[in-house]
Amino acid sequence: MSTHPPQQETEESPAEQEPVEEAESTPPAQQRREDAKADRRSRDAQRQAEDDAAAKSDEPTREIRVFRYDPEIKDKQEPRFDTFHVPFEKGMTVLDALIYARDNYDPSLTFRHSCRQAVCGSDAFFVNGDQRLGCKTQLSELEEPVRIEPLPHQEVVKDLVVDMDHFYDEMEAVDPFFDPDETPEGELEEQRQSRENREKVKMSTRCIWCGACFSSCNIAAGDNQYLGPAALNKAYRFAMDDREGDGKKQQRLETIEQEHGVWRCQTQFSCTNVCPKDIPLTEHIQELKREAVKNNLKFW
């Protein structure tokens, strides 16, 4: 019998060791899970920042719910709405609220804007169920929560940004430029226009190419070849100008009286109702219809 004390085991036996988990998936899948966790942490931090800001401030806030979509990031390909609480000041617009949310809560929030004076037409959104310019729409006039979405009937690129290429193509189809038969002989002499004619076309010149009317039009939504109210208004602006050349006016009338031109308009007034520049679009389209009829009358 040995007098040496038994040696204690310095390592656990294989049976007593905790099982080692196998790698759950391949590195790409693991990276996706990590990206999803990072995205959740970012959104949690954003909500916490909003709550902290609201708690520290005695100023009133407005709740906005913004449409989010990013096709380039897997976890953001499913459309959703994010909620932001922004400090409210008198005179604050929808665009102001979006800029504040982007600069203070989520820098990935994407939307178009430029002049902020209702001139460039870049920030048309679908706000509380209507097409509106973000820079012109007062938050104080809207019920909370203010729901901000991209323009309907147009492909969404990211968040509130839509693809405007088709809209621009329709505008270009009516040749949106002035084309007289004759020009003044003097280099600095003006191309004169009567006061009465200027008043006739004045409202049509206000179009800022925002696309709000096109987005509101049910006919444009169902007919991809329909010129749409903005393009027809642009055709009206030049066809009704008494300085326009006879040949060019005839060409314009032939363009707008085709199958997908003025005759597709069903006089719903949706375009007129949403126009941020108060252009009587439906009225202009009806007058173009009358011009098209007169253009095809033959007296013999």
Query: pLDDT over 90 for what percent of the chain?
Result: 70
Q: Is position 100 within any domain?
A: yes
CATH number at residue 110: 3.10.20.30
pTM score > 0.95 for this model? Answer: no
Residues 231, 138 within the same domain: no
53 and 69 inside one domain: yes
- Give yes or no: residues 241 and 149 share one domain: no
**125, pLDDT greater than 80:** yes
- Nearest-angstrom CA–CA distance, 296 and 280: 25
The answer to whether residue 13 scores a pLDDT higher than 60 is: no
**Which pLDDT belongs to residue 55?**
52
Torsion angle defined by CA atoms of residues 73, 76, 78 and 84, in that order, rounded to the nearest 10 degrees: -160
Say whether pLDDT at 16 is over 60.
Answer: no
CA atoms within 13 A on the CB side of 10: 1
Q: Can you give the residue range of the structural domain that contains 243?
A: 165-181+195-295
Residue 3 counted as domain residue: no
Instruction: Please give the torsion angle defined by the CA atoms of residues 35, 40, 42 and 46, in that order, rounded to the nearest 10 degrees.
Output: 160
Q: What is the pLDDT of residue 279?
A: 98
Q: What is the pLDDT of residue 49?
A: 67
Please give the tally of structural domains in the chain.
Answer: 2
Q: pLDDT tens digits, residue range 214-229?
A: 999 999 999 999 999 9
Residues 174 and 275 in one domain: yes
124, pLDDT greater than 80: yes
Give residue 27's pLDDT band: very low, low, confident or very high (50, 70, 90).
Answer: low
Q: Give yes or no: residues 125 and 176 share one domain.
A: no
Q: What is the pLDDT of residues 253-292, one digit of tens each?
A: 999 999 999 999 999 999 999 999 999 999 999 999 999 9
Model pLDDT, residue 23: 44
pLDDT for res 184: 83
**175 & 275 share domain:** yes
- Are residues 135 and 229 both part of a single domain? no
- Is the domain of 274 the same as that of 256? yes
Q: Give 135's contacts (C-beta < 8 A, 6+ positions apart).
A: 93, 94, 95, 113, 115, 116, 117, 118, 123
